[in-house]
Structure formats: C-alpha cells, structure tokens
Amino acid sequence: MCNSIAAQAVCGKDQHITWQEGAVRREAKERALQQRGCVIWFTGLSGSGKSTVACTLEHALFNRGVLTTLLDGDNIRHGLNCNLGFCEEDRAENIRRVGEVTKLFVDSGLIALASFISPYSRDRDNVRARLGPRDFIEVYLKIPLEMCEARDAKGLYKLARAGKIKGFTGIDDPYEAPENPEITLEACSADGRPQCPESMARTILTYLESHGYLRAPMANNAVSGPARAIADWAERKTPVLDYSI
Ligand SMILES: Nc1ncnc2c1ncn2[C@@H]1O[C@H](COP(=O)(O)OS(=O)(=O)O)[C@@H](OP(=O)(O)O)[C@H]1O
Ligand SMILES: Nc1ncnc2c1ncn2[C@@H]1O[C@H](COP(=O)(O)OP(=O)(O)O)[C@@H](O)[C@H]1O
C-alpha cells in the first residue's frame, strides 16, 4: 500500500501568489555561457547504464568548457525526494519534482543531465511538456532486461527475484519504453559491435553539436566570460583552489 503524498500537492492556482520576473534573462545567461540550456533525460531499466553514460557525458562536456549539472535517481532520493517510495504515485511525484528542478537549471542556461528510471511515459511526457520540446532531450537506454539483470551492479535484481524487494522495475513493476525518444542507445551498434559508455556519450555529444546546443569548438582565446573560466578550469589553467585550512 502506497502512502503517497503526491495527491496532496497544490500548485499555485487558487493561492495568492504572483510570478516574479528575474532581472537577468535566460538568453543573457546563455550568451555569457556560450551554450544553450536543455535537459538530457536518461531513461531505462536499473542497470541499463544511465548513470555511467550521464557521468561520462558530463565529463566530456566539462572538458569542453560546458557548464552542466547532474541529477541521479539514487542521489536525489537521499535528499530532496527522501520521502518518496516506488509506488506509481511516488514515482510520478519524483519525476515531477526533478522536472521542476531541471527547469530551474535550464532557465539558468545550464545543461542538466537527469538519470532516472522514469518508467511511466506520462511522467516523462509531463516533463517534456513543462520544459518545451527544444529543452527536453530524451535518451532511451534500450538495454534488454536480461543484460541489466546479468550486470546487477547493486545486487537489486537478485533481491527482487528473491521477493525481498517488491515492485522492482522490470520484474514486478512496469517499464514503458519511450515511443519517440530523441536518442536511442543500444548495447550493440548496427554492425554488432558492443557500445561502450564513451561511444554512447559521443553519440549524445554529436546530437548536441548538430542541434545547436553547444558553441562550435573554437580557439580558447575566442571564448570569453564564464565560458572562458570553465574552459580554463577544464584545461587547468586556473590555479586549483586549496580548500584546506
Ligand atoms: N523498486 C525499485 N524499482 C526500481 N529501482 C529501485 C527500486 N528500489 C530501489 N531502487 C533503486 O532506486 C533507483 C531508481 O530511482 P529513480 O528515482 O530513478 O526511480 S523512478 O524514476 O522514480 O522510477 C535505482 O537506481 P538505478 O539502478 O540507477 O536505476 C535503484 O538503485
Ligand atoms: N555501455 C556499457 N557497456 C557495458 N557495461 C556498461 C555500460 N554502461 C554501463 N555499464 C555497466 O553497467 C552497470 C550498471 O550501470 P549504471 O550506470 O549504474 O546503470 P543505471 O544507472 O541505469 O542503473 C555498471 O556496472 C556499469 O559499469
């Protein structure tokens, strides 16, 4: 039985609240960062590689001087969403809140990488609708259950098969595959070669480049402002701060 709190949520309507515009617009932030904000939404079964590919991509973006943030299901459930479980309503509330958080980052010009099973199409589509089509890039890790289960990096499938975890996605809980994701990543390429996390991250990077989310690679001295600071940091031209006291 799910003790969902999601049904209690009240959104703005019927309350005496008014939208407050900020003084610095998203476009100005994007110009300063020389990138276009968006969320890259990784969805797939537990063990499909969402976190690994998201981390690999974030590293590659950082090395290009791109400002990102990474939101991961396991981590968010330690804090912001620690009061949510895995029933359908709580998963929906989990994805709704994460969608709102990614919107804040996207509105600040960042590229947000969100790695969540997000098993229900409706929840993912709600986030897409909230962000708008150009700001939401759905990446489907289309890895067969057998492969995810064979990996079983955290031993959760074993526990689920033994009945010690109830409602585990793919075992006794649904996963609704995306119908029209922007990017689908499979275990093997068309010619049958296994796809490592680096090549999967490259596929996404190529998409971002070809769809105008990243500035074209250019000489470092042509980059300015915050983007320059990040590029310098990535190349370690900025002295590493010493946090010890
Ligand atoms: N019942 C059940 N089903 C699926 N997953 C479970 C469950 N219980 C715990 N876990 C662990 O929680 C991680 C998934 O959290 P998410 O926030 O991504 O889930 S969801 O999007 O709300 O469905 C998931 O992480 P990943 O393996 O990285 O996907 C698991 O470590
Ligand atoms: N492309 C890949 N090829 C082979 N193994 C992978 C690949 N991507 C991830 N893995 C491995 O699969 C396991 C699960 O990956 P993880 O990123 O934790 O999945 P998820 O976040 O979807 O649960 C890890 O042991 C990881 O090293």
| 8-state DSSP, 32 | H
pLDDT value of position 243: 42
**What is the pLDDT, as a whole number, of residue 1?**
43
Give the distance (Å) from ligand 1 centre to CA of residue 49: 13
Please provide residue 170's backbone torsions phi and psi, each rounded to the nearest 5 degrees.
90, -20
108 an active-site residue? no
Q: Is this complex scored with an ipTM above 0.95?
A: yes
For 113-137, the pLDDT digits (tens) are 999 999 999 999 999 999 999 999 9
Token pair in block for residue 151: 């990996």
Ligand 1 close to Cβ of residue 168 (< 6 A): yes
Q: How far is the CA of 82 from the centre of ligand 1 (A)?
A: 12
Q: Which amino acid is at 1?
A: M
Spatial CA neighbour of 228 closest among 241, 240, 215: 215
What are the Cα distances from residue 231, in Å, to 99, 135, 148, 181? Answer: 28, 23, 36, 31
What share of the chain in percent tops pLDDT 90?
A: 80
Q: What is the radius of gyration, based on Cα positions, of the chain?
A: 19
Report the relative pairing of strands 68-72 and 38-43 from DSSP bridges: unpaired
Beta bridge partners of 58: none
Average pLDDT score, the chain: 89
Q: What is the C-alpha separation between 222 and 102, in angstroms, rounded?
A: 29
User: At 8, is the pLDDT very low, low, confident or very high (cuts 50, 70, 90)?
Assistant: low
Secondary-structure class of domain 26-232 per CATH: alpha beta
Concatenated DSSP letters of 157-225: HHHHHTTSSSS-BTTTB-----SS-SEEEESB-TTS-B--HHHHHHHHHHHHHHTTSBPPP--GGG--H
Task: Report the Cα 142 to chain-centroid distance in Å.
Answer: 16
Q: Which atom of ligand 1 is nearest to the CA of 47?
A: 27
CB environment 195-222: b (16+ within 10 A), e (fewer): bebeebbebbbeebeeeebbbeeeeeee
pTM, full prediction: 0.90
Instruction: Kindly report, residue by residue over 9-68, the tens digit of the pLDDT.
Output: 556 566 789 999 999 999 999 999 999 999 999 999 999 999 999 999 999 999 999 999
Is the CB of 124 inside a 6 Å radius of any atom of ligand 1?
Answer: no
Report the distance separating Cα 222 and Cα 27, nearest Å: 20
- Ligand 1 lined by 117 (C-beta under 6 Å): yes
Mean pLDDT of 157-182: 98
When comparing pLDDT for 66 and 242, which is higher?
66
- Name the residue among 210, 18, 42, 54 with its Cα closest to residue 136: 42
Catalytic one among 46, 48, 51, 118?
Answer: 118
